[in-house]
Amino acid sequence: MRTDWELMVSGKALTSEKNTRKKLFITEKIALKDLPAYVDNGWEKSADYKNPKIVSVIKEKSINEQFANTVWLLFANMGFYELNKGKEFSIAYDFNDYSRTEHIDVMAVDDETILIATCHATSSKAERSFSKEIKDLISKIDGIRKVALKQYPGRKIKFIWATHNYISNRHDLALLNDAGIAYFSESIIEYYSELTKHLGSCSRYQLLGNLFANQEIKNMENRVPAILGKMGGYTYYSFSIEPEKLLKIGYVLHRSEVNQNMMPSYQRIIKKKRLQEVRSFINEGGYFPNSIIINIHTNGKGLSFDQSSNKVDGTLSKIGILHIPKRYRSAYIIDGQHRLYGYSDSVYSTTNTIPVVAFVDLERSEQIKLFMDINENQKAVPKSLRVTLNADMLWDSSDLSEQRQALRSKIAQMLGEEPTSPLNSRIVIGENESTPDRSITVEAIQSALKKCRFFNNYGKKNILQREGTFDCSNNQETCDLFYPFIEKCLLFIRESCLPEWERGDRDSGMLTMNRGIQAVIRVIDDIVNMLVEKGMVFPKSQELDDMFGIIQYYIKPLTDYINNLNTDQRKDLRGYFGGGADTRFWRAYQKAVADARPDFKPEGLDEFWQNETKVFNEETKTMLYEIESKIKDIIFVRLKDYYGDGWLIKGLPKTVYSRAKSEADEAVYDHISNNGDEMSIPIWNYVTLAECKSIVLNGKNWSLFFEDTFVRPEEVYLAGGKDPKTDWILRLNTMVNKLTNESYSVSGKDYSYVKGIYEWLMNILVF
């Protein structure tokens, strides 16, 4: 049976192949006469030689080859010691016809496992079904497995389907899952590549723990001397073990799209700098006397513990031999990840032992609680990580509001993690880094969902206050119903607005950033609410495709609006800051739908845009100017009439007088310096509207001159005395300041308020 085993390389040949695969370009030395043919095939001339008949040509590797090399290098860097060379490696799969072979992109081998990867890549995001290719591979798997195991006996084999820039569909994923083929997106490969930078070859155990979870690790001694004890109602074992053994069975994956099915996954990602420091400390003979905390998964079967015949009276502890699992991914590292992984690639990984406290089958919530308790006084758990913790800790809470909080967090995570989601890798999960493409936070998604009516709203004592349009009164059932719906809506928007979707948070992008995606989710909610109230859709009983056909009609104008946004519109929306920025995006997207679908009339939309169009600005400015002038005229006349020429000093608070005088003197100085001629500027000109309140309330001014003048008729009986009765002056001053901002728009409510004061004051006689 023909297989290219001679193309499997190790040692120096493997190192040489690594150097070749790292290069993005191929170079060749060719005869000058062949140059035109090479150029026609995409090559470029790169150098001449002394021999005029010879030239060097260069060509960038295809995107598919580059991606296959990325996967190959990942496995090589993880410590697989034998991999395929070049691009032409094939394995025979048909024992009846030895000439029938399957091309293999990547094959990686270590002492216990074989990984076989098929790679597909494209230069930009694209949807494509690989159903035919997957079925073809499935038909050949048994034959390939038999041939590989004949060459490398006693190993476990895993087939991997790896893609770059292809958007997965559920049918393809189901085919892969049913066949036991692991699916690797670019996000998963990126994750493991980063992990390898931090952990070195020990990252291989994390990968194998994922691929071969709960499968046996052969030839591993699993017996350790241990002490059995009780703590907090839980049984635990205390023992010392060689780091290498714990590295094989242990795992600690930070929260990312790689490990959403490996809950709980709450720890911070292992930091390279910290790991290097720990490793150097260990290699210099250092050690850590405190125990690593782990949880061993046995699926309720417990651990075998051979109790010693030697006993100590008066103690609850027991000594004996503990049989730890010989299984990948069977021990979760709750605390001590840097201490453990510091031994990776260390000379002491097999010659030292480290202390361990092992719990058995702890509940998810208890593991998280233990982690949080241990880290309470250490580095704060990041906010984005706390959000993902809530999905675990509160999922089954007795408080139904907390359950819905967990549900919202879970939906946000799924949108960022599910391979079929259009927001896959676009949401910052756990401790993933933010980028222009990955710029949406789980907090933003959760906040948007909280403002929607998709889920039940509960008050105190779990009293239902509002029924959710998709809520089935059970978190999992609600999640199963709602998630496919929101994913389908977002897929439609992505397909309709692909260039905008790909902008992310760069180039004034308006969709895949926090405010954009929040607005989209809330508008979808508005549409659903309207259609439910009209009896046109029934989310809890209607088929998704039937319901979406109606909803799509109302989403379409939003996609048209987004596709036609001009530079000024983008600047206006993205340039708006503060608490109202999210609302402005949402209302703008609502209006886009309402303009095209007249039956779509969200509550408050017309009022919002009336307030936002600045129709009241100029008139309000004029009224405020005249109000200020009238107030100052009344104060001036009353104080001067009573105090005479010393009215400024006798009638104004010292702080107001001093500040205004300072500004007036500064203005006089500047004028004389610039113009040379003498002049005077009244101090009174520099008294502000806000300071008028201080003057009105200063000393006896209130009772002598202003109590009967500056109290609005509707506030005569306002409790609290003179201070709250004159707060209207400060409110007007605030509006004066806001109107200095060109983007500010006076609301209809504020306009009516100013107009009422204006009409009242203009009827007051100055004298």
Which tens digits make up the pLDDT trace of 268-296?
445 666 667 677 777 888 777 788 888 99
Average pLDDT over residues 349-361: 87
pLDDT at 609: 73
Q: Hey, is 746 helix, strand or coil?
A: coil
* DSSP E strand stretches across 588-729: none
564 vs 314, more confident: 564
What the block records as the tokens of 459 is 């008050």
**Chain position carrying tokens 């389908």:** 488
Give CA–CA dist 434/427, Å, rounded.
8
Instruction: Tell me: pLDDT of 577 over 70.
Output: no
3-state class percentages of the chain: helix first, strand second, coil last, to nearest 5 = 50, 15, 35
Residue-wise pLDDT for 639-678, tens only, equals: 999 999 999 999 999 999 999 999 999 988 888 888 777 7
Instruction: Tell me: pLDDT of 345 over 90.
Output: no
What the block records as the tokens of 293 is 């905390």
The values of phi and psi at residue 182, to 5°, are -75, 140
pLDDT at 267: 42
Residue 378: band (very low, low, confident or very high) from pLDDT cuts 50, 70, 90? very low
Instruction: Tell me: pLDDT of 98 over 60.
Output: yes
Q: Exposure of 579 by Cβ count < 10 A (0-12 exposed, 13-18 middle, 19+ buried)?
A: exposed
Q: Rounded to an integer, what is the distance from CA 215 to the centroid of its chain?
A: 32
CA angle 263, 267, 269 (to 5 degrees): 115
Give CA–CA dist 274/200, Å, rounded.
14
Q: 497-506, 625-634, 673-682, 746-755: lowest mean pLDDT where? A: 673-682
* DSSP E strand stretches across 219-308: 223-231, 234-241, 250-251, 292-296, 304-307
The domains of the chain are located at 9-24+61-184, 216-379, 385-611, 617-652+687-761
Instruction: Please check whether residue 371 is in contact with residue 335, taking contact to mean a CB–CB distance below 8 angstroms.
Output: yes
pLDDT at 427: 87
Is domain 9-24+61-184 classified as CATH 3.30.930.10? no
